[in-house]
Structure formats: C-alpha cells, structure tokens
Amino acid sequence: MDKDLKDKTYSELLEIVASHQQKPLCGQYLFIFIHQKDATEINAITPLSKAFRQQLADEGFGILSLAPLDQHDDPDGTVKFVFGLCDGAKIEAVRLKDGDRNTLCVSTQAGCRMGCKFCATGQLKFRRDLTAAEIVDQVYHAESICGRISNLVYMGMGEPLDNFDNVMRSIEILNDKRGRTIGIRRITISTCGLPEEITKLAAHEIRPRLAVSLHAPNDAIRSKLMRVGRKHPLEEIIGALKGYQKLTNKRITIEYCMIDGINDQIEHAKALVRLLKPLRVNANLIELNPFPSCRYNASSTHQIKEFAQILTRSGIETNIRFKRGRSIKAACGQLGATWLK
C-alpha cells in the first residue's frame, strides 16, 4: 500500500482515518494541513492526537517533498525549477509571468516515451511516471518562491495522458476547495495525440482544458517529426477530438511548432485549416526553440506571421508564442536540454 499521504485525494484520506477508527474530521485536518498549510511532517498536523500521529508514522506513512536542486531566472520573468526525485531522476517545472497571470508548467514524467524530434525531453531516456504527489509538489514549491499560481498547464516533461491516472488524481487534489482551489477552467492538459486517452478524458468527471500538439497538417510530415504519428494517424485523432467536443462542448487549443521548411509553408497552413474545419479550436504557433542535437531550425518571424494570417482569415483564433525563457533553456521544447550529451 502506498504510504505517501500527499498522494491521497480527500476521499482516500477519509478512508485511511476510518480504517484507524478516527473521526472524519481527522481526514479533513490531514488534507488541509498537507495541501493548504504545506505540512511536510505528520507531527506538524497538531489537531490530530499524538497517538494517531505516532500510529501513522509507525505504519510507514509520510508526506513527500521534492528536493529542489536548482533555480534559474530569465530576464523576461521566466523561472525554471529543477527538482530531484527519490530515485535520483530529475525533472523541471517553469513559471511564466504574464501580467496578473502566474502560470506554472508542470512535468508529469521523468523523461518521455514519445520521442518527438523537436523536443529535448523526447530525446531523454524515459525513467518513470510521476506520482500525483510529485506533480502537486511542483506547484507548492513554485508558490513558495513566486506567489499564488493562478494557471496550471500540464506541458512540461513527459506526456500527461500517458500518465493518465496520476495526472487526474493531481488535478482533483489541486482543484479541491480544501486545498489550493485552482479552478478547473484554469488547468490545461497538453497531449501529443493519444486518441484512446482523449476519449477517456472526455468521459471523466473532471474536465480541464485540452491542448493538442499537432505540429503538422498531414500524416507524412507528422510521422517524421513525431513517433506517435506512426501509430495514430490524424484521422484517428480528429475523430477522438470530435467525440471529446461533443461530450464537453469545450474549445480545443491546437499547438503547432513552426519549423523552417518542414511545416511552415502556405500550403501547410491551408491544409491545417481544412483539417481543423470540423472542430472549434484556437491555435498557438510556437517558435521552435533550439537544443543540443536538434537538427531543425525555427521558421522566420515573417513566415510565422504569414502562417498566422492564413489561419486567422479562416476564422481560427491564432496566437504566436515567441521565445520565453530561452536563455535558461526553459522555453517550450527545451526542458531537460541541459542533460543531453
């Protein structure tokens, strides 16, 4: 049985206290002290009796805390946190500041199985999934340094839907009114396109926003850039997104990394418009960010703006995401870049 109390939802903590013949209020104390008051030791939860605290400790229960290894600050306000895991693996999380919006980009895996060629994390060896506790603790540490996190994006290291259960558990914990109370409309999950998991997300009682990393208007280009493109053709992904939108009625964000001479031509923009026509979407065009061993180059500013104009004229709300945090290798696609040989 997993003994990390930070990894438990409120209902699971109630089950633990009930199994120890304690009142339900003890479960509430556990959740509030861990997820609102940042308790890192059972003994710090003083409303619990000393006997019960000792019993939990004797049975091996504890409260996980990530090990902060480093912090990097970019002049544009971006902050990158480096954390050590208990097994020696490392992950990174990034705080982005935009006016009053304080956004944290969290990681969900140590390494990644997807192997996208324009992403540094995809070049790292996959180590393992993160637990829900390891995900939420990135938020707690960032808040201790940067203040209240208003928006949360699951766009860091790893493929969130490849770690579905732990990701959804972490969202339930962070959304809980007894804890951080991060609104579900302020939480976004990004995926490279796993149709079965997109369908599963649509049916889930917790429904955060969804972003899909498409990065190509056809299967030929996508399969060259993204390993997942060889397994799941665009027709299958669009079908899953139609089903998702039918159930949730939520607009979907399409993420598109602009790569010089590969996916950034006028015909690519027009093909992307045709592909997305059945869906209600907005698009984020992302300037490719370099990292060691990346063989691609970013599209020119002119090319990105021309691409954006075609999407906009076709009725697709489009934003251009130019470099943020690049000097500290915290920009999109750069997480884990400093560990590449």
What is the set of active-site residues? 92, 332
Decide if 319 contacts 307 (C-beta within 8 A). no
- The residue type of 101 is R
| Beta carbons within 8 Å of 298's beta carbon, 6+ residues apart | 258, 259, 260, 287, 288, 289, 290
CA distances from 47 to 9, 32, 33, 63, 161 (A): 19, 11, 10, 16, 37
For residue 124, give the 3-state DSSP assignment: coil
Please spell the DSSP secondary structure of 11-78, one letter per residue. HHHHHHHHHTT--HHHHHHHHHHHHTS---SGGG-TTS-HHHHHHHHHTT-B----EEEEEEE-TTS-
Report residue 4: phi and psi, to 5°: -85, 110
- The residue type of 276 is L
194-222: b (≥16 Cβ within 10 Å) or e: bbebbbbbbeeeebbbbbbbbbbbeeebb
Q: Which of 283, 288, 332 has the alpha carbon at shortest distance from 310?
A: 283
Decide if 106 contacts 156 (C-beta within 8 A). yes
Neighbouring CB atoms inside 10 A of 110's CB total: 24
Q: Which of 339, 321, 340 has the alpha carbon at shortest distance from 155?
A: 321
Decide if 112 contacts 333 (C-beta within 8 A). no
- Token duo for residue 191: 């995926």
